[in-house]
Structure 1
């Protein structure tokens, strides 16, 4: 197992566990901080995909600006920590029906992904050849302001 594969597993674990912590955490401030950690894990994955521009944008825009906005909003609203309900105290296990429905939907999603990916042989070869020029910031700017100038301007108006 190479160092790149170890880094991939480390960054993926940071992203997945950070996202899971966002969901299961009852304190909203800790949830926002876990989401920032998840964004850093995703940024590391972008670096491994040789897309440093996207990684830096992920950190600056999402972890830097939007998450600070979320954190200030949660702190200013003074959202109380979610306590355990009477049902949770009497039954320490999760509610049965939502858990079952979620498990069935998760299995359906995994089955759909496996089916879709099995029908696309050799997809990694084509992606690697097309993505070589995208990691160059100058090339990205040239393509954005020449070939996709109209879409860029419409997006800037919408934002």
Structure 2
């Protein structure tokens, strides 16, 4: 049952990603990208990586997509302003997609036998285990990273502050 749900969510992610690429309306493209991000988060949760799923929702579907929608509203795109794509740009896109297809086919050709892991720790992606590891074994690097982020924030405020 869990595999069926995973394949449904994966199909939804691929479908919405393909729609994102081929959508003519930028707003519909961004909305389909949001569906893609939520589908990827659902796949993470189904793979027992709850922390990655929540971070996917908060960072990508939350913050970055709000930024994309804000930029889209600020640009005010009109059909009259859009220029036609040149043939060279289309050729480069088709050529790049062909190279990607060759790479993916080469990667699949190199697979041998059973690619599914046999012994997987069921608690490896849980947030509780990640927090325990982070605050017990890696507490010093964690605190140093927080001080580094705080220094970056203070520096950005000082650079952005106007002289009074």
Q: What is the root-mean-square deviation in Å for CA atoms of aligned residues?
A: 3.0
For structure 2, the residue ranges without an aligned partner over 5 or more in a row are 153-164
Q: Distance in 1 between matches of 2:109 and 2:139?
A: 36
Q: Distance in 2 between matches of 1:155 and 1:110?
A: 40
When the two structures are superposed, what TM-score results if normalisation uses the length of structure 1?
Answer: 0.72
Shift of 1:96: 5.5
Mapped contact 1:29–1:75 kept (Cα < 8 A): no
Mapped contact 1:12–1:45 kept (Cα < 8 A): yes
Aligned residue among 61, 64, 69 for 1:71: 69
Mapped contact 1:133–1:140 kept (Cα < 8 A): no
Larger-gyration structure (1/2): 2
Corresponding position: 1:112 with 2:111: no
Shift of 1:99: 2.1
Q: Distance in 1 between matches of 2:93 and 2:57?
A: 34
In the alignment, what sits opposite 2:128? 138
Aligned residue among 1, 5, 11 for 2:3: 5
Mapped contact 2:30–2:65 kept (Cα < 8 A): yes
When the two structures are superposed, what TM-score results if normalisation uses the length of structure 2?
Answer: 0.71
Mapped contact 1:44–1:55 kept (Cα < 8 A): yes
Corresponding position: 1:124 with 2:114: no
Q: Distance in 1 between matches of 2:142 and 2:47?
A: 24
Question: How many pairs were matched up?
Answer: 147
For structure 1, the residue ranges without an aligned partner over 5 or more in a row are 89-94
